[in-house]
Chains A and B, each alone.
Chain A
């Protein structure tokens, strides 16, 4: 992999220095109160190298990813601005990329976006002018060639470290590595995977990734989500598309007394991280503690990921 730095991103520095990276997720509030983010930042600070700010995840309206990222930077942390193709055409996308970079954002995650059917505005018209793979090539072209999609020159290029997601558990399984290869071809620099519960299946996917040499072209961060309860585990297993929760894990949560389930969920997350660290081709982990940011420290600490390196 090219060791030269393309941006001022701290995440890029850590990954390119060969250190095991940690990212975590921070969901913006459903309101205009910046203090909600500041409170979450206090819980998260120092526990990861960079923090994803979700972009209206599950199609529920929240404070914008760019604005929330700016609040996070004021707290001295490095955000990863998520951007979905659902809500913007290529004009708005490029405009937001310039705006985000101008405000100091250094990382971006390119996503298609959940369908609006799942959100609080199912009546909305979706956009999908471009898709996530095309979004990757868009931002790379803007950064590296200094050109808009329309071909005009950009004065002051956006220096963003470019990431995307990968879901090894969605169907058809055999297309999942080829799809990652397409993202690599489009220019993605780091990948955060869907929540990993089925380590066996993830291992199969990862083996194909390594066999194709893709781990040498892109940094792969394994996604980890702690269960808060058996109810949440069951919900994720049954109701979230593209999620793979094996029966033995469900049983383990079910067999745990209610008051101990949160603790058990964290234990599972820590074990998952430890196993991911042993896996060839894994460059880091991405901790998604959904509306449970206060537990990120415990997970990172118990998994031996702290303190985070200074770069």
Chain B
């Protein structure tokens, strides 16, 4: 899933400073699961904003709503009766959701309440780690199911570099060396032969380097 983290409160208050009435819009997708942008977080952020603005003698009116997903025009349509009445929309979705709202309502400002951090999953409740960098050309078959592009600090395809120490990455003793994990796994799979291959230079076109990407199901285009 997409992991997001709420922006610092001061940055959020700065964005909505000139607004008297806003919609705080939650998303029922990934950011609900990672506890940063769902129904509950909409309530918390809205009351924090009201309290802060009351304290400043500059009250703000807030409408709270959470839709199924913000990355889908169908659900973004559900706020069409609210948006004309507000000065701005504070979206608690990932960067994709924020842009869907902006695209649908071209004359109303949309503010991101989150920083979209990475694609990953949870290790335990409230603890999320990056697993995928959406490079567009999956190599996990070659590296024992552990991604060197997302998890090696240098995205090395033929690693480990000379900074791998006791299973940890040179950048931080808390960070696992992805190549140590890969090698441990290849050993367990009895596939250390895969390490002997020189991984060829990568084609980054399927990554962001090829420009904004799209995925089209032709059979749905009729």
Contacts and interface: CB of A to CB of B under 8 A. Distances in A.
Interface of A: 85-86, 90, 112-115, 117-118, 126, 128-134, 137-138, 149, 165-167, 170-172, 175, 178-179, 181-182, 185-186, 194, 241-242
Contact of B162 (A134, A167, A178, A185): A167
B198 to A, nearest CB: 5
Nearest to B184: A172
Given A134-B157, A242-B170, A165 B201 contact: no
A117 B161 CA distance: 15
Interface in B140-169: 153-167
30 contacts: A85-B154, A90-B201, A112-B156, A113-B154, A114-B163, A114-B170, A115-B163, A115-B170, A117-B171, A117-B172, A128-B154, A130-B202, A131-B157, A133-B158, A137-B201, A138-B201, A166-B162, A167-B162, A170-B162, A170-B164, A171-B165, A172-B167, A175-B160, A182-B196, A182-B198, A186-B198, A194-B162, A241-B162, A241-B164, A242-B162
B191 to A, nearest CB: 13
A172 B183 contact: yes
Contacts of B158: 131-134, 179, 182
Contacts of B154: 85-86, 112-113, 115, 126, 128, 131
A112 B155 CA distance: 10
Contacts, number: 92
B180 interface: yes
6 nearest interchain CB pairs?
Answer: A167-B162, A241-B170, A241-B163, A133-B158, A242-B162, A170-B162
A174 B187 CA distance: 11
Contacts of B179: 175
B149 to A, nearest CB: 9
Contacts of B171: 115, 117-118
A170 to B, nearest CB: 5
Nearest to A174: B183
Nearest to A185: B198
Nearest to A194: B162
A134 B167 contact: no
B90 interface: no
Given A126-B154, A138-B201, A241-B165, 11 more contacts: A112-B154, A128-B155, A128-B156, A130-B201, A131-B156, A133-B198, A134-B198, A171-B165, A175-B195, A182-B196, A194-B162
Interface in B39-56: none
B180 A172 contact: yes
B204 interface: yes
B86 to A, nearest CB: 36
Name which of B157, B161, B196, B199 has the most chain A CB atoms within 10 A of its CB: B161
Nearest to B180: A172
Contacts of A138: 201
Contacts of B160: 170-172, 175, 179
Contact of A242 (B163, B196, B202): B163
A90 B164 CA distance: 25
Nearest to B186: A175
A25 to B, nearest CB: 16
Contacts of A175: 160, 179, 183, 195
Contact of B164 (A134, A137, A186, A242): A242
A40 to B, nearest CB: 25
Contacts of A118: 170-171
B197 to A, nearest CB: 8
A171 B170 contact: no
Contacts of A172: 160, 164, 167, 180, 183
Contact of A171 (B155, B164, B198): B164
A126 B159 CA distance: 16
Name which of A137, A165, A178, A242 has the most chain B CB atoms within 10 A of its CB: A242
Name which of A133, A186, A194 has the most chain B CB atoms within 10 A of its CB: A133
B177 interface: yes
B200 interface: yes
A87 to B, nearest CB: 12
Contacts of A112: 154, 156, 161
Nearest to A86: B154
Contact of A181 (B163, B196, B200): B196
